[in-house]
Amino acid sequence: LRMPEHYPRPAAIERVLRRDERTVTLLFRDARCAEALPGQYVMLWVPGKGEFPLSLSHAEPEEALAGVTVRARSERTRFFLELKEGQRVGLRGPLGTWFTAKMGEALLVGGGTGLAPLLLLARQLARLGSRATLIAAARTSSELLFREELEALAPSSLRLLYATEDGTAGVKGLATDVLEAELEARAPSALYACGPEPMVARVVRLALGRGIYVEASLERPFKCAMGACGACALGGFLLCKEGPVLGPRELALASDELGIYTRDHAGRRVSLHG
């Protein structure tokens, strides 16, 4: 009997991989999440702490192994750093839309934990034999996620370009600086983006302005994750169900809001320009 996707399933954390001072990858055995497509997310419930939407960074169907990579952004999420192997959690999912792998020259742009779904996409593209470039960005080199995994795909299956704000790895600057230089040199057949919203908004505008096919994964507060409460609305789309990955048509329709304002957990508009 296959439970409906919104019925929480118990799972145990099988491995914890420490990435940096505030980021961990949690691996769990779950056949359904292990079949997730790149860009899909899981609602991870930690007893006593709450339920969090997290993109799947790992999905290995042969081993029924799946994983998420969480960065503790505030006091509320610091507990993630203390989770231990064997700890029981609840899972709903995999949920939401996914990146559609197109053949040709794919260009992936990711910053911070936005690299999580792009790691899965880069692996899928490598399996399909597609030639992809990934611009991976962070504030500083120690916060660049998945270097080992990504460097294992490069150079045969992935062209890897780094950007750090302090210049400690790759180009000194933002992911979008590297992207602009890339777009001067070649036109990709598809652009895929995930990361801080100002970055994603800039990638989307560059792509739409040049007529390049683009998909982006976006964040808003998620509560029900089943299209019922409206907390996750962005530009008329419910991101928990119609996203988190939006295509070019939806991104163009959401452009009045994308990168301009978000919403807090009480639904109030919050400017993204500080």
Ligand X SMILES: Cc1cc2nc3c(=O)[nH]c(=O)nc-3n(C[C@H](O)[C@H](O)[C@H](O)COP(=O)(O)OP(=O)(O)OC[C@H]3O[C@@H](n4cnc5c(N)ncnc54)[C@H](O)[C@@H]3O)c2cc1C
Among 27, 34, 144, 240, indicate the residue that binds ligand FES (CB under 6 A).
240
Q: What residue spans of 157-256 are helical by DSSP H?
A: 175-185, 197-210, 239-242, 248-253
> Would you give the distance in Å from CA 129 to the centre of its chain?
22
For the four alpha carbons of 62, 98, 120 and 49, in that order, the dihedral sign comes to: negative
Among 2, 84, 186, 265, indicate the residue that binds ligand X (CB under 6 A).
265
Decide if residue 70 touches ligand X (CB under 6 A): yes
How many Cα neighbours within 13 Å face the side chain of 95? 27
> Would you give the distance in Å from CA 86 to the centre of its chain?
25
Decide if residue 36 touches ligand X (CB under 6 A): no
Q: Among 10-18, 21-29, 43-51, 220-228, which window interacts with ligand FES (CB under 6 A)?
A: 220-228
Residue 244 binds which of ligand X, ligand FES, none (CB < 5-8 A, kind-dependent): ligand X
**Which residues, including other chains, have CB under 8 Å from residue 71's CB and lie 6 or more apart?**
22, 23, 77, 112, 113
Smallest distance, Å, CB 58 to ligand FES?
A: 24
Decide if residue 76 touches ligand X (CB under 6 A): yes
Decide if residue 222 touches ligand FES (CB under 6 A): yes
- Say which residue the tokens 């899981």 belong to: 42
Residue 58 binds which of ligand FES, ligand X, none (CB < 5-8 A, kind-dependent): none
Decide if residue 145 touches ligand FES (CB under 6 A): no
Binding site for ligand X (CB under 6 A): 41, 52-55, 68-71, 73-77, 113, 116, 219, 222, 244, 265
